[in-house]
Amino acid sequence: MKNALGAVDTVLLLGGRSEIGLEIVRLLVGLGASRVVLAVRGGFDPPELGGAEVHVVPFDALDVQGHGAVFAKAAELVGDLDVVISAFGVLGSQAGYDADPAAAAEAVAVNYGAHVSVGLHAARVLREQGHGTLVVLSSVAGARVRKANFVYGSAKAGLDGFAQGLGDALHGSGAKVLIVRPGFVIGRMTKGLTPAPMSSTPRQVAVATVGALREGRSSVWVPRALGPAFGLLRLLPRPLWRRLPR
């Protein structure tokens, strides 16, 4: 439950190694969150999070049969969940996916299918609580899929649509969905790639996310200028869209 001052008290981060996810958690702890659950695959030495009580539980995105147990364990450890952050994923390269379609299918299973599973589990829990927000890390890559990495972009497009529908389904229940759409994020996942225009850092994405949470918004673009920019880019004829730099 939220604390006596109305601030977030408990957080579940699915993808406990996520740079963006951990930055969001740090900011929430700074604002009053006191209990955190990091769901992560494999052995993990959790970071110090501002004196908050930190628990680690095993989580494998592809083990969809085990997702329900992750939520049950988190609730057992910290009680009601104020914020659930769905922050796991893989990037990969289009050239790699072209060469290995099986790897492409697995990446889509992680970036889309697994998020559907945890999203529905989160919705059930938050609906039963009557409060809480699911934060879904989408991407500008899903706003209009580009040839540069259309496997990744198509999964993000599916995820974004799913999150929008889930948010509508939860309307009036007390539970909410916040969709975060960052552009190119300079971090571990994109190491070695040339930053795109209007890039951001994990910290900047986290600041925008926490601001949107506090405002009760349903979506946020990071940086904010990407929203109107892609409103125009969606209208670009396909022959011109195909000619955009990779």
The residues assigned a catalytic role are: 152
Helix ranges (H only) for the chain are: 19-30, 67-78, 94-99, 101-108, 114-129, 150-170, 202-215, 226-233, 238-242
58: closest CA among 68, 43, 47? Answer: 43
Cis check: omega of the bond before 223, within 30 degrees of 0: yes
| C-alpha Rg value of the chain to the nearest Å | 18
144: closest CA among 20, 86, 220, 227? Answer: 227
Phi, psi of 190 (to 5 degrees): -105, 15
CA angle 157, 121, 156 (to 5 degrees): 10
Determine the longest span between alpha carbons in the chain, in angstroms: 56
